[in-house]
């Protein structure tokens, strides 16, 4: 089976206070179709930076990210943005919901390149699948942390994204909500064949993934 994502000799460095800080150092690995990969490591290991580069949010200093054999960082910026919108769904620790929009609008917003009626219909279907259809007219301030994260997951899926990139999606939740969110991701992986890359410092959650990649000081261990 061909790799869905191939990361080769990836390096990311910044200039900070007159010196070069290397966040990622010559990283190489692959993600297979319908994979469930956990990336584990301490704070400052470079996990979030790696996830951002995988999703086309941040350019690497060196190396390449191949998606279905195409180097995404050889594409024009507008083409990367279109690829990201169609292919990648992001789930973050802090939800990033728009407070002025209700749940249905937050989910549909990512697909408003489509006709509005179609986008809202898709959003309703997703909310029902995730078990929060009754929250469609609520605003983010009226939701629990676990419900907000379910909305964020629905938003990540509204364009039928092939890959879901999760950056500490349970880091802001109580233990029960953590379990429910992880079970939901597992359900999406199992029933919808979604490829999931999960960044976490929680080894217990990481063990539930198919594979685990350990990142420490910018290197795979």
Q: Domain count of the chain?
A: 1
Contact 30/5 with Cβ under 8 angstroms?
yes
Please provide residue 35's backbone torsions phi and psi, each rounded to the nearest 5 degrees: -80, 160
pLDDT at 178: 81
Residue 178: give the domain boundaries. 34-60+84-220
Task: Count the Cβ atoms, other than its own, within 10 Å of residue 16.
Answer: 8
pLDDT at 112: 58
In a domain, 126, yes or no: yes
pTM of the predicted model as reported, rounded to 2 decimal places: 0.86
In a domain, 122, yes or no: yes
In a domain, 91, yes or no: yes
Residue (of 10, 13, 46) closest to 31 by Cα position: 10
SS3 60: coil
Please state, in angstroms and rounded to a whole number, the distance separating the CA atoms of residues 105 and 74. 34
Task: Count the Cβ atoms, other than its own, within 10 Å of residue 64.
Answer: 15
User: What residue ranges in 17-87 does DSSP mark as E strands?
Assistant: 19-31, 36-40, 62-67, 70-71
pLDDT at 197: 95
Q: Sign of torsion, CA 165 171 174 175?
A: positive
Greatest Cα pair distance in the chain: 53
Mean pLDDT by 10 residues, the chain (221 residues): 90 87 93 95 88 93 94 92 89 83 87 68 84 88 87 84 89 79 87 92 87 91 84
CA terminus-to-terminus distance, the chain: 25
In a domain, 19, yes or no: no
In a domain, 1, yes or no: no
pLDDT at 146: 83
CATH number, domain containing residue 56: 3.40.50.300
pLDDT at 145: 84
In a domain, 21, yes or no: no
Residue (of 112, 108, 87) closest to 98 by Cα position: 108
* 56 to 39, 86, 100: CA distances (angstroms): 17, 12, 27
pLDDT at 201: 84
In a domain, 216, yes or no: yes
Task: Count the Cβ atoms, other than its own, within 10 Å of residue 17.
Answer: 5
In a domain, 108, yes or no: yes
Please state, in angstroms and rounded to a whole number, the distance separating the CA atoms of residues 48 and 94. 13
pLDDT at 125: 85
């Amino acid at each position: 089976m061909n790799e869905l994502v191939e990361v080769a000799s990836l390096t990311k460095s910044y200039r900070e206070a007159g010196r070069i800080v290397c966040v990622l150092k010559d990283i190489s690995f692959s993600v297979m179709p319908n994979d469930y990969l956990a990336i584990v490591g301490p704070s400052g290991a470079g996990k979030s930076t790696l996830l951002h580069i995988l999703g086309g949010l941040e350019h690497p200093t060196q190396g390449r990210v191949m998606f279905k054999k195409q180097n995404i960082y050889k594409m024009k910026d507008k083409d990367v943005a279109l690829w990201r919108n169609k292919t990648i769904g992001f789930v973050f620790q802090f939800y990033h919901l728009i407070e002025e929009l209700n749940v249905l609008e937050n989910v549909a917003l990512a697909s408003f390149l489509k006709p509005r009626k179609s986008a809202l219909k898709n959003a309703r279907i997703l909310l029902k699948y995730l078990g929060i259809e009754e929250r469609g007219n609520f605003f983010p301030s009226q939701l629990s942390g676990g419900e907000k994260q379910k909305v964020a997951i629905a938003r990540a899926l509204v364009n039928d994204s092939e890959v879901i990139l999760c950056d500490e999606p349970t880091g802001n939740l109580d233990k029960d909500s953590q379990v429910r969110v992880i079970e939901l991701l597992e359900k999406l992986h199992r029933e919808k064949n979604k490829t999931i890359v999960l960044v976490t410092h929680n080894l217990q959650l990481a063990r539930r993934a198919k594979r685990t990649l350990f990142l420490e000081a910018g290197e795979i261990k």
